[in-house]
Amino acid sequence: MTIIHYPDIEEYLTKDGSCIRELMHPNRHGCRNQSLAEARIAPGAETALHRHLQSEELYHITAGTGLMTLGGEQFPVATDDTVLIPPGTAHCIRNLGGEELVILCCCSPAYGHEDTKLL
């Protein structure tokens, strides 16, 4: 059994500019096929437009509001929304609110900087 305690997880900056905590990742925690991270985006900030060549990604918004760019579409997202990001699809998200935008990000296969291509 692997249990990770949130206060023990250090934040780091990803290639797209979001600050994340990897809640579960194969390189550290023993899972095999996916990763789970929490991303935080400051008010007014936006992640860089990017895509993942291999990973399918799920964004689940746990706090805040934002504007999601997914492929050729843009649409608002808010707390309790979940977005599917297919592999190879260009995407970014901008925080539209006055509080941090908090997103749970699940990637399968697991997130890797080498799979992230900035556009």
* Each residue's pLDDT tens digit, 46-63: 999 999 999 999 999 999
What is the domain extent for residue 15? 6-55+62-109
| Of 49, 45, 99, 51, the residue nearest 69 (C-alpha) | 49
* 65 contact partners, CB below 8 Å, separation of at least 6: 76, 77, 78, 79, 95, 96, 97, 101
Phi, psi of 44 (to 5 degrees): 80, -10
22 within a domain of the structure (yes/no): yes
Q: List, for residues 68-84, the tens digit of each pLDDT value.
A: 999 999 999 999 999 99
Residue 115 lies in a domain: no
Q: What is the number of other CB atoms lying within 10 angstroms of the CB of residue 18?
A: 24
- Structural domains in the chain (count): 1
Domain membership of residue 23 (yes or no) is yes
Residue 116 in domain = no
The answer to the question of residue 30 being in a domain is: yes
CB 69 within 8 A of CB 93: yes
**Tokens 């991270």 identify what position?**
37
Task: With respect to residue 1, please indicate whether it lies within any of the assigned structural domains.
Answer: no
Query: How much is the pTM?
Result: 0.89
Task: Flag whether 37 is in a domain.
Answer: yes
Phi/psi at 114 (5° precision):
-65, -20
Q: For residue range 2-13, what is the model confidence (pLDDT) as tens digits?
A: 787 888 888 988
3-state helix, strand, coil in the chain (%, to 5): 10, 50, 40
